Amino acid sequence: MRSTSSPLLLDAVPRALTVPVAALLLTCTAAAATAQVQATGDYLSRMDEDQDGRVSLAEYQNWMSYAFEHMDRNGDGILSADELPGGRGEPVSLDEHRTKLARTFLRQDQDKDGFLDARELAAPPL
């Protein structure tokens, strides 16, 4: 009999984003639900801290580190196994996480201007 189960949502997420995405899915709150993003333009407006119409590396890292910071219950800047989804895995530091995010940002910055616009945000990293 052929299985009709669908793939896990996390299977479609780039590896660099797996931990923060998993954490975000596991730690949703009422406040997060009201901040739900509906379109790429919403991502741009929420990530764009200085509202200049583009997202810098620092803005991208700040936005994408939200889940990491919520998971880091003891505030030491390291996600230990007990803070990771499933309660196991190798520790991940905030610096390592931000480095992975920087690599993803650089792949998404197709015009290499150091910023992401709405089109680049909508495109998956190369």
Give the tens place of pLDDT for each residue, 8-38.
444 444 555 555 555 444 444 334 433 444 5
Beta bridge partners of 115: 56
In a domain, 12, yes or no: no
Q: What is the mean pLDDT of residues 96-111?
A: 95
> Has residue 123 got a pLDDT over 50?
yes
- The answer to whether the beta carbons of residues 83 and 89 sit under 8 Å apart is no
Question: What tokens appear for 87 in the block?
Answer: 């309660």
The whole domain housing 59 covers 33-122
Residue 93 lies in a domain: yes
In this structure, the number of other CB atoms found within 10 A of the CB of residue 109 comes to: 19
Angle at 34 between CA 118 and CA 45, to 5 degrees: 20
Q: What ranges in the chain are assigned the alpha helix state H? A: 18-26, 30-34, 40-47, 57-64, 66-71, 94-108, 118-122
Q: How many domains does the chain have?
A: 1
CB-CB neighbours of 72 under 10 Å: 20
- The one-character DSSP state at 103 is H
pLDDT at 91 over 80: yes
Domain assignment of residue 62, yes or no: yes
What whole-number distance in Å separates Cα of residue 119 and Cα of residue 111? 11
Tokens at 20, concatenated: 């923060």
Kindly state whether residue 104 falls inside one of the protein's structural domains: yes
Instruction: Answer whether residue 103 shows pLDDT above 80.
Output: yes
* pLDDT at site 52: 95
Residue 6 inside a domain? The answer is no
For position 62, which CATH number holds? 1.10.238.10
In a domain, 21, yes or no: no
Question: What is the reported pLDDT for 24?
Answer: 47
pLDDT at 7 over 80: no
Give tens-digit pLDDT for 42-87. Answer: 778 889 999 999 999 999 999 999 999 999 999 999 999 999 999 9
Residue with more model confidence, 124 or 40: 124
Q: Tokens 């590396």 label which residue?
A: 57
Using CA atoms, how far apart are residues 16 and 31, in angstroms rounded to an integer? 25
